[in-house]
Amino acid sequence: MDHVPGKIEGHIPGTRVMTATKSIGTAADAFSGPASQLDPLSTMVDGGLIMSGDCGGTNSRLTLFKVPAGTVFSKKYPNAEFHSKGQGFVDICKLFLEQAGAGKPLVCCLACAGGILNNTVDFTNVSTGWKIDGGELAKELGIKRVTLINDFEAQGYGLLTLHDDELVKLNGGVKRPGAPIACVGAGTGLGECFLTCDKVSGKYTCFPSEGGHAEFSPRDQLGVDFLEYLKKVTGGRRVSVERVVSGPGIVNIYQFLRQHWAFIELKNKKIDDEITSTPEYDQARIIVKGAKEGDLVCKKAIDIFCVNYGSELGVAALKWLPYGGLYISGGIAAKNPDWVKSDAFQSTYKDKGRLSPLVESIPLYLVTVEDTGERGALFVAVRLLLA
């Protein structure tokens, strides 16, 4: 890939600071337009300040960027600290801008973990039901425009900033300029999105998806048993693939195996006791550790996870035919690259019957960095400035 870099630099004690010369670059071979369209920062002399953020139920990470290549002030704020004081998201933003001490940004883009409706979003993991309203926030902060996007939509735009050393090619598929791009990423949930290219401008537009909530489809008898188990424990008639392919999904798989007739006698009591005595949100870490130490049930849980993750990537390949690249993002894959290189993952990715050759021809990549969403929000903020 060829890239036109945008420089991000700076240091402010006590904050999360990005120092990189490539973070706002874009992949030239992913567009059909000239290089001047690929990196808006490269065509600007002094575009002013922009603000972006990655906002979830637990933390809000905000960034202030001086276009075209100024200093970034970036800091993470735990939402609970503000909630406990009776404050809301607007108070976080005001404190951030005060601490940055660089003036008011012209535009802002926030990537939010939730459904965006009329430029608003609810913070479902904050007990009082925090809500961000882009229009109201713009008025409160004196910003010309605040745009909210889905967090995985930001992941999609973040793909456009990736460089060769931030990717691992997983097959022999050849990228086609101007073709659709897709991304699937397992973490706390299972996110999916796709991008299409405007043939005139050469710019990509990302569309969010709720593909992670499609039905889970078992591939063998053990998978059928697992599906029935999940129906019982969730009290539902259907089970989404996110219940399997995610961090909590790893926990669900292990809990199923530890009571299954074929594995109940294989449990390592010491590891099993450690897992079951650990808070549920942290159990996946113990299971991964157990697998690395050779525990049979933990290893089987990871194997089942990889089988179903690979299968879902193959489904995404069939749905979107992303000859511009199919990307695996998210912390789970970035921290465990051997999982997506494994036979369990690769075999089920390619195993799509009569269309297996088609799936194998789609270029498949592992994203090795974990700040793609933050980059994507900043990428969109730059576009807003140019609009």
Looking at domain 27-156+372-386, its CATH superfamily turns out to be: ATPase, nucleotide binding domain (3.30.420.40)
210-263 pLDDT, tens digit per residue, is 899 999 999 999 999 999 999 999 998 899 999 999 999 999 999 999 999 999
Distances (CA, A) of 73 to 68, 93, 96: 15, 13, 9
Count CB-CB contacts under 10 A for residue 30: 22
Instruction: Tell me the CA end-to-end span of the chain in Å, nearest whole number.
Output: 27
Structure token pair of residue 1: 């890939």
Domain boundaries, the chain: 27-156+372-386, 166-368
21-49 pLDDT, tens digit per residue, is 244 433 323 222 223 333 444 444 456 89
Output the CA torsion 217→308→241→152 (10° steps).
Answer: -140
**Cβ-contact 9, 72 below 8 angstroms:** yes
Q: Please tell me the chain's helix, strand, coil percentages from 3-state DSSP, rounded to the nearest 5.
A: 45, 20, 35
66-124 pLDDT, tens digit per residue, is 887 666 799 999 888 888 888 889 999 999 999 999 889 999 999 998 788 999 998 65
Nearest to 387 by CA among 114, 123, 144, 23: 144
Mean pLDDT over 10-20 rounds to: 29
Instruction: Determine the topology of domain 166-368 in CATH.
Output: Hexokinase; domain 1 (3.40.367)
370-381 pLDDT, tens digit per residue, is 889 999 999 999
Displacement of CA 224 from its chain's centroid (Å):
29
CA dist 305 and 302 (Å) reads: 5
pLDDT at 144 over 70: yes
**Cβ-contact 375, 161 below 8 angstroms:** yes
pTM metric for this prediction: 0.84
Using only the alpha carbons of the chain, give its radius of gyration: 22
Structure confidence at residue 185 (pLDDT): 95
**Cβ-contact 150, 208 below 8 angstroms:** yes
Strand order in the sheet with 145-150: 73-78, 59-67, 48-55, 107-112, 145-150
Up-side HSE of residue 343: CA atoms within 13 Å toward CB? 0
**Cβ-contact 290, 268 below 8 angstroms:** yes
pLDDT at 4 over 50: no
